[in-house]
Amino acid sequence: MINFNGDILDQEKFSLTAENRGFKYGDAVFETIKVVNNKVIFWEDHYFRLMASMRMLRMKIPMSFTLEFLEKEILSLVKANNTLQKSRVRLTIFRKDGGLYTPKTNEIDFLVEASELNQNIKNDYKIDIFKDFYNYSGLLSTIKTNNKMLNTLASVFAKENDLDNCIIINEKKGVVEVTNGNIFIVKDNVVKTPATTEGCIKGIVRKKVLEIISKNEEFKVEETSISPFEIQKADEVFITNAIIGIQPVTQYKKKTFKVDFSKKIAKNLQVLEFTT
């Protein structure tokens, strides 16, 4: 089952038109959300990021799009799909059909999809750099649009080379993120992650991890530019996204990493998931 504009429909009977702007132009934004035991994890953060993205893309936000309304729409679909215990939800917003590059209207449709979540943290996790194309730094790169060809190509490259993930770099050859999340590196007592000015997504879990670490006086947090060479010198590397939370990286090229710090932060994050 899916939720299209508030109507719960059989997925097999639902279809988009040939004029759908998300399909034709990538004229869409989305949020990937975890729901556990009927609780939408970090929902307020997802909601306000979505509203900011819609405003940036000049989409008309309906008056009905309140925090409570969209949460209700998500949970109604989760219930209909009987995945209350743990769900992966995608909420997609796209401009209504019509127009070429210039849309006929800025009004929107929304689509909610929900499936059972079975993703687990991997004990061995190998990454490398994807160098074929760049993620250009800039404000537009920080929001979750449907324009994800770079992430797709990097994921194909990872699969072809027996990697678990790839690091995406920008036009300055700086580290941006991985194909499905943000990246952190730890060296001594300094924790670094690419600044949003490098072109990385404003990740929800990225934000939470920064909050957790900033409260620990033993560590210094830096949002900055990171060169690929710094990754090889790091003590630990981990990636974050809304579904997995924190995934420790165990290997980059020939370098192997410890996972002690990332596992500790992961436990703090799990507590935060159910107390906010």
| Successive 10-residue mean pLDDT values, the chain, 276 residues | 96 93 97 96 98 98 98 97 91 97 98 92 97 94 95 98 98 97 97 97 97 93 97 97 97 96 95 88
Among residues 164, 184, 185, 177, which one has the least CA distance to residue 122?
A: 164
Sign for the pseudo-dihedral over CA of 139, 142, 146, 151: positive
- Note the pLDDT of residue 274: 84
Q: How far is CA 24 from CA 105, 111, 146, in A?
A: 15, 16, 10
Tokens in use for 202? 């404003």
Structure tokens at 170: 């920008």
**Residue 119: per-residue pLDDT:** 81
Q: Residue 113: which of 18, 35, 178 has the closest Cα? A: 35
pLDDT confidence of residue 83: 82
* pTM, to two decimals: 0.96
CB atoms within 10 A of CB 133: 13
Return the DSSP state at 183: E
- Do the beta carbons of residue 129 and residue 228 sit within 8 Å? yes
Q: How far is CA 120 from CA 123, 215, 271, 275, in A?
A: 9, 27, 17, 22
**Contact yes or no for 251/257 (Cβ under 8 A):** yes
- The per-residue pLDDT for 84 is 76
Residues in contact with 223: Cβ distance below 8 Å, sequence separation at least 6, in sequence order: 192, 193, 194, 195, 196, 210
Q: Measured between alpha carbons, how far is residue 96 from residues 17, 63, 101, 105, 112 in Å?
A: 10, 16, 13, 7, 16
